[in-house]
Amino acid sequence: MKNTVIFDLDGTLLDTLDDLTDSVNYALDKSGMPLRTKDEIRRFVGNGVRVLIKRAVPEGTDDSAYEVCFKDFREYYVAHMEDKTAPYDGVCELLRDLKNEGFKTAIVTNKADFAAQDLCRRMFGKNIDAIVGSVDGRPNKPAPDGVFYALELLDESAENALFVGDSDVDIQTAQNASIEPIGVLWGFRDKEIIEKAGAKHFASTAKELKTLLLSLKNV
């Protein structure tokens, strides 16, 4: 029985792109570096904030300048990560309904754990059973380590789980954990990218996703 759903966060449950863009550009501007567009940030996210800043700074930036930029980004994002961030349409209702249907739910994200915990508790409350963010010592997605830790917290096995995400990184993560992936089409990547990565199930709205999850529950 597929009674467990593991979600990605950014681009899947929360639209965080504006706050990420503002925070990256604050840090770049403070270091006198060229700013990035929202579409560029969209392409840069997915592998954690350190990789985001690596991609955002100019090519050839030395390590010390990178570290200053990363520090400025982190400090600004902590203070502003809820300025414009909000759940996608229907997501809060989806999580509530899944809870009522007896699903266990978790979030596994490459967002820093402190930010993931804070945002998810505020946005979703008790409708998420476990939150696993990025911490030192545990490989980020697409490594499956965070998924395995979430399953451990939920006392569930991979065979009972589905993974929902918006990116090729999420699809690869699910495959690495031997979990069936589902791609959502409202996030940071186009369908072609996540389909090429191996996704076979897709949802265009939270309502479609709920219907799909219920249809797969007893498969």
Nearby residues of 209 by Cβ (< 8 Å), 6 or more positions away: 94, 164, 182, 184, 203
Q: Is 84 helix (H, G, I), strand (E, B) or coil?
A: coil
β partners of residue 107 = 7, 131
SS (H, E, C) 3-65: CEEEECCECCCEECHHHHHHHHHHHHHHCCCCCCCHHHHHHHCCCCHHHHHHHHCCCCCCHHH
Which sequence positions are flagged as catalytic? 8
Beta strand 104-112 pairing with 130-134: parallel
CB contact at 8 A, 141 and 10: no
Whole-number Å distance between alpha carbons of 132 and 162: 16
